[in-house]
């Protein structure tokens, strides 16, 4: 039974500027994204079968293990694009990246699924074709596939190499607070008519949501140099180590990395 294990890194946004709203409802952004050494792991197995099945399992109670999971959607899209059928694909998701945290946990898992299936099927798709599938599934997948440090544009699917710097990274997140990208961009659209203080924020989405959540204001007041990543609710700092306190998930001592999803 062919099997592969894929390491899927989280990302942070070193900058995130929202340029405008697109006709398709998404927003054009310019964001420097950086991969970090916080990983989920996918174990993918393939068997011949009379039918096509995609079965997910994992160690987290915070994500679904059905067709709504982006990993499932990635596997389904890969099979459709390659005309592969009569396979039973089982995936175990070892989740370490918090959910709805601005760390691209779902996106990196989906990119890892595409990458892993392509490896198992002898690189049936080129890197360019994999990136085309990534762009169909979500805004952060292209970066997660490539990794390192990139200036991302469009919805996030357009990648331009950016200078990579090895740095220490510390993370803090309110345990009970997750913010979806949809919520953050909606709040941005509502607030952008009154741009007061926006220039004070490296991340436009932090500016959009911080006033609505006491947990985010608590982090910013305690660690003024900390920056929210993505749509939140995780903050990162290069300098400050975060101190343990009730209600907050903390991960100190991480580092930037110069790669994306890969097999191990």
pLDDT interval class at 122 (50, 70, 90): very high
pLDDT given at position 26: 86
Q: Does residue 231 surpass a pLDDT of 80?
A: yes
Tell me: the pLDDT tens digits for 95-109? 999 999 999 999 999
pTM summary value: 0.96
Q: What is the mean pLDDT of residues 240-258?
A: 97
Q: Is 220 a catalytic residue?
A: no
172 within 8 A of 219, measured Cβ to Cβ: yes
Of 73, 95, 140, 187, the catalytic one is 140
ω into residue 206 within 30 of 0, thus cis?
no
DSSP 242: P
Question: Per the structure block, which two tokens stand in for 229?
Answer: 């990543």
Distance CA 106, CA 62 (A): 11
Q: How far is CA 121 from the centre of its chain?
A: 25
Q: What is the largest CA-CA distance in the chain?
A: 61
Q: What are phi and psi of 58, to 5 degrees?
A: 180, -175
Sequence-ordered strand ranges (E) for 95-201: 149-154, 158-161, 168-174
Of the listed 11, 146, 173, 251, which one is catalytic?
A: 11
Residue 257, pLDDT score: 98
Residue 23 pLDDT exceeds 90: no
Q: How many CB atoms lie within 10 A of CB 25?
A: 8
The SS3 of residue 2 is coil
Q: What is the pLDDT of residues 70-95, one digit of tens each?
A: 999 999 999 999 999 999 999 999 99
**In contact, 255 and 37? CB cutoff 8 Å:** yes
CA distance from start to end of the chain: 17
For the ranges 26-30, 40-44, 86-90, which has the lowest average pLDDT? 26-30
Q: What is the rounded CA–CA span in Å between residue 87 and residue 239?
A: 48
The answer on pLDDT for 1 being more than 80 is no
pLDDT attached to residue 239: 86
pLDDT value, residue 39: 98
Mean pLDDT calculated for residue range 41-54:
98
Does residue 255 carry a catalytic annotation? no
The answer to whether residue 63 scores a pLDDT higher than 80 is yes
Q: Report how far apart, in Å, the C-alpha atoms of 239 and of each of 101, 224, 225 are.
A: 20, 11, 8
Alpha carbons 225 and 125: distance in angstroms, whole number: 43
CB–CB of 31/151 below 8 Å?
yes
Contact 247, 137 (CB under 8 A): no
- 224, exposed or middle or buried, with CB in 10 Å at 0-12, 13-18, 19+? exposed
């Amino acid at each position: 039974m062919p099997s592969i294990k894929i390491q899927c890194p989280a990302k942070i946004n070193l900058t995130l500027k929202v340029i405008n709203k697109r006709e398709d409802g998404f927003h054009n952004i310019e964001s420097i994204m950086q991969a970090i050494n916080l990983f989920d792991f996918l174990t993918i197995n393939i068997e011949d079968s009379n039918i096509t099945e995609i079965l997910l399992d994992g160690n987290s109670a915070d994500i679904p293990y059905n067709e709504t999971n982006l990993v499932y959607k990635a596997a389904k899209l890969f099979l459709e694009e390659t005309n592969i059928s009569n396979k039973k694909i089982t995936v175990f998701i070892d989740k370490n990246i918090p959910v709805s945290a601005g760390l691209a946990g779902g996106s990196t898992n989906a990119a890892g699924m595409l990458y892993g299936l392509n490896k198992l099927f002898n690189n049936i798709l080129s890197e360019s074709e994999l990136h085309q599938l990534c762009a169909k599934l979500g805004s952060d997948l292209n970066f997660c596939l490539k990794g390192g440090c990139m200036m991302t544009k469009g919805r996030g699917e357009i990648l331009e190499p950016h200078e990579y710097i090895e740095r220490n990274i510390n993370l803090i997140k309110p345990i009970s607070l997750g913010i979806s990208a949809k919520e953050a961009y909606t709040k941005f659209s509502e607030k952008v008519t009154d741009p007061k203080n926006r220039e004070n924020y490296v991340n436009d989405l932090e500016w959009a949501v911080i006033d609505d959540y006491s947990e985010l204001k608590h982090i910013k007041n305690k660690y003024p140099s900390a920056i929210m990543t993505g749509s939140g609710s995780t903050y990162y700092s290069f300098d400050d180590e975060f101190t343990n306190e009730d209600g907050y998930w903390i991960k100190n001592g991480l580092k930037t990395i110069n790669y994306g999803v890969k097999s191990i």
